[in-house]
Structure 1
Amino acid sequence: MGTLAHYWEANENKTEWTFFLKKGILFHNGKELTATDIKYTFSLLLHPDFEQFWLVENIHFIECLNRYTIRFHLYKPNELFLQFLSFPALSVIPSGSTSYIGTGPFKVQTYNPNYIALEANPSYFEGRPFVDRIEILNVPREYEKEILADHTSIFVNTGEGSNHIGDPSHKLIKGTYEGSTLFTFNLGKKTGPQQNLFFRKAVHKLIDRKKLIADLGPPRMIPAANFDINDSLEMTFEKVDDEEIRVLLQAAGYRGESVQLFTYDRHQPDAEWIKQEAANYGVSFHVTILGWNEILKQENINQADCILFEAVWGENELSKLELYQSGFSFLRQHLNQETAEFIDRNMTEIMAASRREDRSILFSEIESRLIETNALVFLVHKNIESTFHPSIKGVQLNTRGNVDFKTIWIKPDLTEKGK
């Protein structure tokens, strides 16, 4: 939304936000973007069954002041409203449409869960992309070498596949995820050993993160003390005395009950490793591996005693808000009522705080609460790798592990003149 406006302003208490739209922005279907399209888009989203309803629930009403000016009226102050509007789920579509028609640098030609084809938008208001077409694939392990050998491919290894570079002539760049792998404890579930604080403490302590990294290798990089890799770098991770873990399990009254640990393909090795380590102390984990769409189903989230996943801080404050508020968040859905209410109170203060330093303190209070109650277990920070032919230029990894397609271009072979 920020790139669609050339200027914006807010009232003093940040409950009214007015945006002055750029003229001449065209949707992929050739229609010009106006304030009416923005109001229409948000009319579709302002329903409680929208999974990212937390992004829009503070919107009281929207008014179109003229063709290129729109004003949002909020129930409560929100200093972060600009960040909210930048969230992909709030992408603007033309009035009367429900399909993938936007204003961005690429048009969606084909979309399914394992394959997306994008074509350059020649009318993009910030300049045409440098490449004509982008295809995004989920690559099965058995085809990794084929993809790596293809001079037109950019291979991003997020941990599911092997860690070979392939052709030594290819370039390799590395980045670091902002965030951490972790698993939740389902404190909203009325039964199960995870309800006991002493049990949760024992599980936290029996996981030797340095051993996890040594045993499983890259892309696992640094033991995680919390979400911030810089904080984790300053921490020491000493192996906990086995007797301390057994005392905690005894205090919890644990009698070998099975703990249901759910995760998806990317994290299967970590889940199986945790299962084996826990078994050394008589703790029984049952690991269930689901596809991404399956693990998002409410019945699976409710059934799991723990869910292992990766929290990525790609949008910094907004990513934290998403983790604590979104209907897609495993952490949010596994909180007990008391902690959820504590977080919601802090969220109201965070959105009203004008200083980033004050918001940081409030975020830290939430994280401290989660750590003190062992509502989750932090595991490791990871890095990410991208491999590609040297002729592909402009490749950069962002903090979410994604490539900015708009900056990519392919340097032609100048020895083949006229082709």
Structure 2
Amino acid sequence: MLHEQYFMLHQKLAVNAPASMATEVTLEQIANTLYCSARNAKLVLRKLEEKEWIIWKAGRGRGIRSMLTFQADKEALLQEAAQQLTEKGEYKQAFELMRNYGEEIRTHESYVEWMNGHFGFCKEEKEGEEARDSLRLPVYRLIDTLDPAECYYSFPAHMIQQIFDRLVIYENATDQYLPAIAHHWENNNDATVWTFHLRKGILFHDGKELTADDVKFTMERLGRKRNRWILRELKNVEVVSPREVRFILNKPNRIFIRYLSATCMSIVPQHLLRFNEEQYWKLPVGTGPFQVEEWTEDRLSIRASPYYYQGRPHLDSVQIIFMPEDAEHSDVRWERLLQDSDPSDPTEEMSGMDTVESLNGCTTLITWNMRKPGPYQSIEFRRAFSLILNRSGMVRELGEYRLYPARGFLIDDGAPYHKDRFDPDLAKQLLQQSGYDGSPIRMGSLAHHMKDAEWVQNQCAAIGILLIICEEKMDTIHKPEVMSNMDCILQGLVLPGEEVCLIENYEQEDSVVKEFMDPSLHDWVKECIDDALASEECKERLNLLANIEERLREEAQVSFLIHSKFQAQLHSSYKGVVINNLGWLDFKQIWQV
């Protein structure tokens, strides 16, 4: 790329030279800087001259050095290059260019401003096709999988819900189960047999009709995957007829229908997955409102399925652009993109704006690795660590979407009034009792939790705890070899469904809470869960599950930090915008006046 070659030369050869002043240089230096031969270096210089970006005067004769003058404005040229890459969809390369050559100049600010205009709603036009209403959004979260059976994080789960369907859907706002693939269901008295009747005419995106065989195949496959915890007590799945399927359980489960509304229970096509699973996941096919059009390392493009059984989406397509993780500090965020106001006019910016929030949010917590030796094996140390954390101060100091100090996994109506357990004097006493010798504590965290991690690090330093932050990526932090090396992990949990999500937290493979928990608690936790599932009353189920949380809190195996909310501002011309319980826009309903 000619732009980058100019920046490479400028960075190496114009370090101390004033603007537009000639620099003595040899052709050999230029070739070495560009990592090419002298012949190719001459070709590059000729092209740069044609662009009038440089003036090149080759030295003639022995002892006469060549002279190179940089003419182009580096800042303007850098933004131009980044914009060209962005227009081609090469976002990672654009930010890499900024990172490598944009230091100490203000290009990032103007580029971010331009980027915010590039994202959001747009009309996509292709030759011979009608213009499409498209939504283009930047994300800093990896989509490591679109397989419901392997999904762990909330954002991939959200995208899975756009592509696949479940038998039923649980609606938090109304506490109701809504028909989806199944239009009717019933269960026996002790909740060990559940029967579901499927709609007619539900088509996968390739045109093949979904049947009970696909449901059976999905469950049998799920039983061999990461999310198999959800089928721990499933004895058998029976295909009664092409549109009737029966689940037989070993033990009562009063909320099995809630299990079936979980993202990991999304129905996949037997005819495509059975024989070529690797090829299928390159461009997965479901029955959801959107079908996958393109999935690369730079983007995920989905388009509306015209035959969706619950009504075609208003949007024609959605493009999810994967931004570099190290660009997350920028102001390019989807929450700020649905705004038609003039950013230079503060009055216009506030007028005609609506705020949308989710009923759910994220809970940030620190979980101790009870399987690994270290000073934190002392309960006095863990309690001292928790007591030094001024959570109310954390909310005030870090702000943004942080709401309240957290006492548990779920936010409740009493969250604004809970007393923060902050006692630095007692923390110092407990730390001394623990016999802590000042050895370092390794805490793992993801990039988007680094502000929280650094705040915790500073609090610990105040009483002499040496905390080392180990920044990991989403595709590495749950690897066994990484987790086993961590003393604790700071993470954010999105728990969109109370009972099922709490159980998932204790049972899912690779869950930090489960994997770090004292192994002696596992059988007791399982008994608490089984008792809860057998209970007919929601309140009783939650109380039984609360026993697990209470023990983890009192033994300080988990230090809860804060609750935060999902929120976005948008221009009032956008309709149907809802932030779902996973913290993302429900793409199916969005439209614009």
TM-score normalised by L of structure 1: 0.89
Does the aligned pair in 1 maintain the 2:214–2:268 contact within 8 Å?
yes
Cα distance in 2 for partners of 1:76, 1:63 equals 17
Tell me what 2:237 maps to: 62
Percent identity over paired residues? 30
Cα distance in 2 for partners of 1:359, 1:165 equals 50
Moved more, 17-26 or 242-251: 242-251
Cα distance in 1 for partners of 2:181, 2:264 equals 15
Q: Which amino acid aligns with 2:233?
A: N
Within a 5 Å distance, the mapping from 1:6-405 to structure 2 comes to 6-47=183-224, 50-98=225-273, 99=280, 100-112=284-296, 115-139=299-323, 140-141=327-328, 144-145=331-332, 167-168=349-350, 171-175=354-358, 177-189=360-372, 191-227=373-409, 228-237=411-420, 239-240=422-423, 242-405=424-587
Q: Which amino acid aligns with 1:407?
A: Q
Cα distance in 2 for partners of 1:13, 1:410 equals 48
SS in 2 for 1:379: strand
Cα distance in 1 for partners of 2:229, 2:336 equals 43
Cα distance in 2 for partners of 1:321, 1:404 equals 25
Cα distance in 2 for partners of 1:378, 1:24 equals 47
**Which structure has the bigger radius of gyration?**
2
Relative to 1, partners in 2 of residues 1:208 and 1:113: Cα closer, same or farther, differing over 3 Å?
farther
Moved more, 175-184 or 31-40: 175-184
Query: Once the 2 structures are TM-superposed, how far is the Cα of residue 92 of structure 1 from its aligned partner?
Result: 0.9
Relative to 1, partners in 2 of residues 1:229 and 1:165: Cα closer, same or farther, differing over 3 Å?
farther
Q: Which has the higher contact order (CA 8 A, sep 6+)?
A: 1
Does the aligned pair in 2 maintain the 1:199–1:249 contact within 8 Å?
yes
Cα distance in 1 for partners of 2:575, 2:361 equals 24
What are the Cα deviations for residues 284-327 of structure 1, in whole angstroms up to 9, with x where unaligned? 11101111111121111111111111122211211111111111
What are the Cα deviations for residues 184-206 of structure 1, in whole angstroms up to 9, with x where unaligned? 011122x1111110000000000
Cα distance in 2 for partners of 1:366, 1:386 equals 34
Query: Once the 2 structures are TM-superposed, how far is the Cα of residue 69 of structure 1 from its aligned partner?
Result: 0.8
Quote the RMSD (CA, aligned, Å).
2.3
Cα distance in 2 for partners of 1:18, 1:309 equals 38
SS in 1 for 2:525: helix
Query: Once the 2 structures are TM-superposed, how far is the Cα of residue 231 of structure 1 from its aligned partner?
Result: 3.4
Q: Which amino acid aligns with 1:234?
A: Y
Cα distance in 1 for partners of 2:228, 2:560 equals 27
Query: Once the 2 structures are TM-superposed, how far is the Cα of residue 223 of structure 1 from its aligned partner?
Result: 1.2
Does the aligned pair in 1 maintain the 2:371–2:519 contact within 8 Å?
yes
Query: Once the 2 structures are TM-superposed, how far is the Cα of residue 102 of structure 1 from its aligned partner?
Result: 1.2
SS in 2 for 1:380: strand
Query: Once the 2 structures are TM-superposed, how far is the Cα of residue 398 of structure 1 from its aligned partner?
Result: 2.4
Query: Once the 2 structures are TM-superposed, how far is the Cα of residue 150 of structure 1 from its aligned partner?
Result: 5.7
Query: Once the 2 structures are TM-superposed, how far is the Cα of residue 351 of structure 1 from its aligned partner?
Result: 1.2
Query: Once the 2 structures are TM-superposed, how far is the Cα of residue 391 of structure 1 from its aligned partner?
Result: 2.7
Tell me what 1:160 maps to: none
Cα distance in 2 for partners of 1:230, 1:317 equals 17
Cα distance in 2 for partners of 1:198, 1:72 equals 47
Does the aligned pair in 2 maintain the 1:179–1:229 contact within 8 Å?
no
Relative to 1, partners in 2 of residues 1:145 and 1:92: Cα closer, same or farther, differing over 3 Å?
closer
Cα distance in 1 for partners of 2:206, 2:309 equals 14
SS in 1 for 2:183: strand
Relative to 1, partners in 2 of residues 1:65 and 1:177: Cα closer, same or farther, differing over 3 Å?
closer
TM-score normalised by L of structure 2: 0.64
SS in 1 for 2:392: helix
Does the aligned pair in 1 maintain the 2:335–2:568 contact within 8 Å?
no
SS in 1 for 2:441: strand
SS in 1 for 2:258: helix
Cα distance in 2 for partners of 1:407, 1:288 equals 40
Cα distance in 2 for partners of 1:175, 1:183 equals 24
SS in 2 for 1:96: helix
